[in-house]
Chain A
Amino acid sequence: MEFDVFHNLATGFAAALSLKNLGFALLGCLLGTLIGVLPGIGPIPTIAMLLPITFGLEPLSALIMLAGIYYGAQYGGSTTSILVNIPGEAGSIVTTLDGHPMARQGRAGAALGVAALGSFFAGCVGTVFIAAFGPPLAALAQQFNSPDYFSLMVLGLVTAVVLAHGSVVKAVGMVLVGLLLGLVGTDVNSGLTRYTFGISAIWDGIDFLPLVIGMFGIVEIIRNLEQRQLHRVPVSARIRDLWPSGQDFRDSWRPVLRGTALGSLLGILPGGGAVLAAFASYTVEKKMADEPGRFGKGAIEGVAGPEAANNAGAQTSFIPLLTLGLPSNAIMALMMGAMIIQGIQPGSAVMTKHPDLFWGMVASMWIGNAMLLVINLPLIGLWVRLLSVPYRLLYPAILLFCVIGVYSINTNVAQLVITAIFAVFGYVLMRFGCEPAPLVLGFILGPLMEENLRRSLVLSRGDPMIFLERPISAVLLAMTLAVVAMIVLPQIRRTREEAFQE
């Protein structure tokens, strides 16, 4: 494989630097920062809400904008974590631990500056990571056959379940329910409809958007409304000198490097991504510190490391999707949905069939990160003022945009009914302690898993041993087993529980 990374990156920059695509990158970054700042709406419902608008765009523009929302949210989330102790987004929960104490000591500027610069650095490294590791992984994926793909999906789903927070058994259950929901509609092989109950709106399967908007967007609104006190935030933090001091730089460059490395690696893992990376980095920094006691009281290392890690993780979590066609978390499942809607099957073929799309996206991530640095630092005051918009004015707007998004798919009332059903369904399951993210992963992989299982068993004439006889598949299953063994071992289990405790 003679993939010339730099030549490819040049092609990518050429595609991404067109005026139109720059515009979409900017729009995505702005929207991402906005929702990152606002508590009560995360990147998942936002991306879902905006999907219908991207139908009419070129694939590259659509993906650039959606990706911008994802990493823009990481930046915006850290701003509010530091200034008002409210993580606008899950990846920046850790940042509140030391970022907000820093702000209270009058060092908000230093915290924000280090967070932004660390994130920018991590974003750059993440981009290079994708450029370097994408092609070899895609080349490997071209050796894959149906049994290998099936085992890959098993590995991906199992790892995602183990790394997600909450009960593992329930997460497995949610994945299975997702897989089953993914099968609703016409079976491509027999032409028979399954579980449609004669409802024509789901003959082609349950649409992705009503499910995601219902289970994430609407459930989130309902849950926020249940809180008696709708939070209003006193914004008192003043931001003086935004630039960190020389001492701050000396204290934080090592955590940034470590966080970037950790985030880049964890981002690639299925189920990994920004949230896990941030938690892991915080734990590492605390372990390595000379005086761990400073953590939680405004240690700059506790901001620098996790901020770098969550951005690197956000970036590299695109790798499994773009090279193997395997979404590693719910946001990547959405990106996969967006690609499929655009007629692009994610996987190793993206790089060979649509090189400008792949490299354009990689390049746009770097551009987006640079934009975010520029948008964020000078505009922090504006973003923070947005926080004072009370939730009672915010949620009707969010609800309206969610509903318009769902209705725009095919102007069918049935989609709204399905949204409402999934909202209630997701709400009830949430009450039982079941998270919706694994279900979405299963949902998007359901048809693919069935097809690959079918093809594998046709190849082997019904002998399931084929999954162990093919070397790639056997290795993937062995890895799955190792992951399962990990969760059973009590020591690792305890660490996992600690890591997810806020």
Chain B
Amino acid sequence: MVRVRSPQDLGAGAAFLLIGAAGAYFGNDLAFGTASRMGPGYFPTLLSWLIIGIGVIVGFRGLTIEGPAIEPIQLRPILFVVAAILMFGYLLDTIGLALTAIVLTTVAAYARRDASLGEALLLGAGLALFAVLVFVYALSQPLPAWWGR
């Protein structure tokens, strides 16, 4: 009966195996070439197999050597932070930096369980002002300050 002794190592091993396998699979149609005339697939394939090897070693250790458990993954922070990043990207061109900054701040604030809408909006307004003044006017970064440019 196989027993997982180090969930972290087993997870890492699986991740490496997956990455290595993906590298080898998607690099398969690249010409490998020979050592003296390396094709575009030579180094990637080499690396992919090395990663697979590491995956096997790390995964094996996960089954044989005692190790720490994986801390439970909390979805709330990841989901809200990632949502804030993506919304920023899709909103910026249409509604401008000032409003987008307020949206981002507010969405990000809800990554915490006990967020306060009023505080988030206030913080967002402050950050929006700062960002527009510094990035758009002072540093002339290529960002629209307001909607419709």
Determine how close the nearest CB of chain A comes to the CB of B32; give it in whole angstroms. Answer: 12
The minimal Cβ–Cβ distance linking A480 to chain B, given in whole angstroms, is 15
Assess the B92–A395 pair: CB atoms within 8 A: no
In the assembled complex, A208 has its CB within 8 A of some CB on chain B: no
* Given A173-B12, A176-B51, A434-B12, A457-B35 contact (CB < 8 Å): yes
CB-nearest residue of chain A relative to B141? Answer: A408
B127 and A397: CB pair below 8 A?
Answer: yes
A417/B105 in contact, CB under 8 A = no
Q: Is A485 located at the chain interface by the 8 A CB criterion?
A: no
Against A, the Cβ 8 Å flags (1 = close, 0 = not) of B115-138 are: 100011001100100010001000
A475 to B79, CA, bound (A): 50
Contact of B58 among A173, A399, A401 (CB under 8 A): A173
A-B contact count (CB 8 A): 183
Contacting residues, chain A, for B51 (C-beta < 8 A) = 173, 176-177, 180
Please tell me if B26 contacts chain A, counting CB pairs below 8 Å: yes
In the bound complex, CA of A463 to CA of B97 (Å): 56
**Contact of A172 with B by CB under 8 A:** yes
Chain B residues with CB under 8 Å of A463's CB are 35
Q: Provide the residues of chain B in CB contact with A226, threshold 8 Å.
A: 74, 77
The complex places the Cα of A462 from the Cα of B82 at a distance, in Å, of 46
Q: Quick check: A432 and B15 within 8 Å, CB to CB?
A: yes
B115 shortest CB reach to chain A, Å: 8
B146 to chain A, nearest CB (A): 16
Residue in chain B with minimal CB distance to A394:
B123
Flag B73-88 by CB within 8 Å of A: 1 or 0 each. Answer: 1100110011011101
Question: Residue of A at shortest CB range from B16?
Answer: A173
A429 contacts chain B at the CB level, 8 A cutoff: yes
| Contact of A381 with B by CB under 8 A | no
How distant is the Cα of A449 from the Cα of B135 in the complex, in angstroms?
Answer: 37
Q: Which residues of A contact B (CB under 8 A)?
A: 52-53, 167, 169-170, 172-173, 176-177, 179-180, 183, 187, 189-190, 192, 194-195, 197, 218, 221-222, 225-226, 230, 392-393, 395-397, 399-401, 403-404, 407-408, 411, 413, 415-417, 419-420, 423-424, 427-429, 431-434, 449-450, 453-454, 457-458, 460-464
User: Which chain B residues have a beta carbon within 8 Å of chain A's beta carbons?
Assistant: 8-9, 11-12, 15-16, 19, 23, 26-27, 30-31, 34-44, 47-48, 50-51, 54-55, 57-58, 61, 67-68, 70-71, 73-74, 77-78, 81-82, 84-86, 88-90, 92, 97, 101, 104-105, 108-109, 111-112, 115, 119-120, 123-124, 127, 131, 135, 139, 141-143
Q: Give me 18 A-to-B residue pairs in the complex whose CB atoms sit less than 8 angstroms apart, sorted by A's number.
A: A167-B9, A167-B58, A169-B54, A170-B9, A176-B54, A221-B77, A226-B74, A393-B119, A395-B111, A396-B123, A400-B108, A408-B143, A411-B143, A423-B78, A423-B81, A433-B8, A433-B9, A434-B12
Identify 16 new A-B residue pairs, CB closer than 8 A, beyond the known A396-B124, A401-B131, A463-B35: A173-B12, A192-B30, A194-B30, A194-B44, A195-B26, A222-B111, A399-B85, A404-B135, A407-B88, A407-B89, A408-B143, A420-B85, A420-B86, A432-B70, A450-B38, A458-B37
